[in-house]
Amino acid sequence: MAAIFQSAGGLLPGIGYLISPLSTAPIIFCTILSIRYGLMGYILAIAVLLIMLPSEIIVFPFTTGLLGLGIGGAFMLLKKRIYIIFTASLFLFAGITILLYGIRFPVLGPTASSSFHLFTLVLIYLFSVLYSWLWVEISNVCIKKIGKILR
């Protein structure tokens, strides 16, 4: 599912860009079940993307996939929501900065250059916190609804 959601951006221009962020969800839920399942799902999604849409292979492992691992692992290991958000935001921040400054891949498009600027780094971190907070809240609601269904 993660690979299908991630590839939507490349296969369905326009609406696909709204679908592709959903690739985080399957990784979150696999990781919540077991960190081992989360890692297997993450690696499997990367392998499927390599076959389906190789252009997405550089984005998924460093952004949406890594965020899913961070949130799922944090849900398993941490209890307070603020710690989960902080941990997840560090995963996303690390992935974006590695892409932008390490690999020099323009993950943020032309808005952020690959030359180092402290202001850009701060904006990336703020975005990472907000985006992680959104995913933690969505995940929390889904976990509660699944828990009610399973009772």
- pLDDT, one tens digit per residue, over 44-85 is 999 999 999 998 899 999 999 999 999 999 999 998 999 999
Q: Give the separation between CA 97 and CA 105, rounded to whole angstroms.
A: 10
> Which of 79, 81, 72 lies closest to 31 in space, CA to CA?
72
The model's pLDDT over 86-139, given as tens digits with 9 standing for 90+, comes to 999 999 999 999 999 899 888 777 766 666 778 889 999 999 999 999 999 999
| 151 pLDDT tier (thresholds 50, 70, 90) | confident
Cβ burial, residue 48 (10 Å; 0-12/13-18/19+): middle
- Domain span at residue 49? 2-150
DSSP assignments along 1-15, one per residue: -HHHHHHHHHHSTTT
pLDDT for residue 13: 84
CB 125 within 8 A of CB 89: yes
| Tokens matching residue 35 | 């960190």
Domain count, the chain: 1
pLDDT for residue 45: 97
